[in-house]
C-alpha cells in the first residue's frame, strides 16, 4: 500500500458541526485546525464490527450528548454513537482554565513557569484522552494519539467563547 492510499482502519475526513461550535479566538481555531490535520495524517480508527473503511467522521453535540457520526469515505452511513458529556465536563472545564493560563503565560512568564503550566495542560489532555478511549471501547478501536486529537476536537465543541 502506498503512502497516498488510505488505510482500511483510518479516518480520511473529519468535520465539526458548525452549529455546535461557539465563537472562538485564534488560539482555539489554531488548535482545531492542527488537530484535524494531524488526525487525518495519522490515526487508527476502526468501528467495532465493521469490516473496514476508510472512514469519515462528523462530530457534533445534541441534547448534551457528543455525537460521533461515522460514514465510509464515500458518504455511506455506518453508525452514530451518542456519548454522555458528563464524564468529560470537569476535565474540559479544567483544561480550558489551564489553557487560558498557558496562553497568558507564553506572553509574559518565565520558561520554567510556562513548562510547568504546559505539563499540567498535557496531563489533563491525556486524562481526557483516556476517558474517551474508555467511553468508546465497545464502539470504536483507536490508539492514544488518535484519542488525543479527538479530545482536542471535543474541547472545541465545548468552547463557548
Taking the chain, what is the end-to-end CA distance rounded to the nearest angstrom?
43
Rg (CA), the chain: 16
Quickly state the pLDDT bin for 22 (edges 50, 70, 90): low
Residue 59 in contact with residue 68, Cβ under 8 Å?
yes
Phi, psi dihedral angles at 45 (to 5 degrees): -145, 110
pTM: 0.86
**Closest C-alpha to 57, from 41, 42, 77, 37:** 77
Task: Give the number of other Cβ atoms within 10 Å of residue 65's Cβ.
Answer: 14
Q: Mapping DSSP to helix (H, G, I), strand (E, B) and coil, where does residue 53 land?
A: coil
- Please, what sign has the CA dihedral across residues 85, 87, 88, 93? positive
Domain parsing of the chain, residue ranges:
11-158
**Confidence band for 82, pLDDT divided at 50, 70 and 90:** very high
Going by their DSSP bridges, the two strands 45-47 and 55-62 should be labelled as: unpaired
pLDDT digits (tens, 9 = 90+) for 105-131: 999 999 999 999 999 999 999 999 999
| Of 159 and 59, the one with more pLDDT | 59
Amino acid at each position: 500500500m502506498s503512502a497516498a492510499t488510505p488505510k482500511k482502519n483510518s479516518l480520511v475526513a473529519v468535520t465539526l458541526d458548525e452549529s455546535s461550535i461557539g465563537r472562538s479566538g485564534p488560539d482555539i481555531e489554531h488548535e482545531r485546525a492542527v488537530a484535524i490535520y494531524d488526525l487525518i495524517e495519522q490515526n487508527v480508527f476502526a468501528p467495532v464490527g465493521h469490516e473496514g473503511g476508510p472512514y469519515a467522521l462528523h462530530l457534533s453535540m445534541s441534547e448534551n450528548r457528543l455525537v460521533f457520526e461515522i460514514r465510509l469515505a464515500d458518504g455511506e452511513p455506518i453508525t452514530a454513537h451518542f456519548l454522555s458529556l458528563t464524564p468529560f465536563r470537569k476535565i474540559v472545564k479544567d483544561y480550558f482554565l489551564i489553557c487560558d493560563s498557558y496562553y497568558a503565560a507564553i506572553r509574559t512568564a518565565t520558561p520554567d513557569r510556562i513548562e510547568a503550566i504546559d505539563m499540567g495542560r498535557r496531563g489533563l489532555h491525556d486524562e481526557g484522552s483516556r476517558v474517551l478511549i474508555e467511553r468508546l471501547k465497545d464502539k470504536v478501536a483507536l490508539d492514544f494519539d488518535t484519542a488525543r486529537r479527538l479530545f482536542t476536537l471535543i474541547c472545541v465543541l465545548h468552547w463557548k467563547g
